[in-house]
C-alpha cells in the first residue's frame, strides 16, 4: 500500500486547503492510503535547533516524510 502524506499549511480547522486535501484523500486510487500530518506544533525553521535541541514535532514530521511514498 502506498502512503500519500498530506501537509496543509493553513492551521484553520476548516480552511479551503484542508477541505481540498480531504477530498483528494477520499479519491485516491485503490492501493493508496492518506496520512495527514498536523503542522500546528512544528516551529518555524531555526538552524540553531538541531541535534539534542531539535523539537519532537520536527522529528515526527521527518519520520512522516520518510515513511511517505508521495
pLDDT of 27 higher than 90? yes
The pLDDT assigned to 23 comes to 97
- What are the E-state strand segments in 1-70? 2-7, 32-37
pLDDT bucket at 52, cuts 50 / 70 / 90: confident
Q: Contact 36/8 with Cβ under 8 angstroms?
A: yes
pLDDT of 28 higher than 90? yes
Torsions phi, psi for 68 (to 5 deg): -85, 150
Cell triple for residue 14? 476548516
Provide mean pLDDT across the span 37-58.
90
The pLDDT assigned to 49 comes to 84
CA dist., res. 19 & res. 45, Å (int): 26
Provide mean pLDDT across the span 21-47.
95
Amino acid at each position: 500500500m502506498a502512503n500519500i502524506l498530506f501537509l496543509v499549511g493553513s492551521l484553520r480547522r476548516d480552511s479551503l486547503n484542508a477541505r481540498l486535501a480531504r477530498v483528494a484523500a477520499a479519491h485516491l486510487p485503490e492501493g493508496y492510503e492518506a496520512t495527514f500530518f498536523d503542522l500546528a506544533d512544528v516551529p518555524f525553521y531555526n538552524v540553531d535547533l538541531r541535534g539534542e535541541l531539535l523539537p519532537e514535532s520536527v522529528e515526527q514530521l521527518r519520520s512522516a516524510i520518510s515513511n511517505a511514498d508521495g
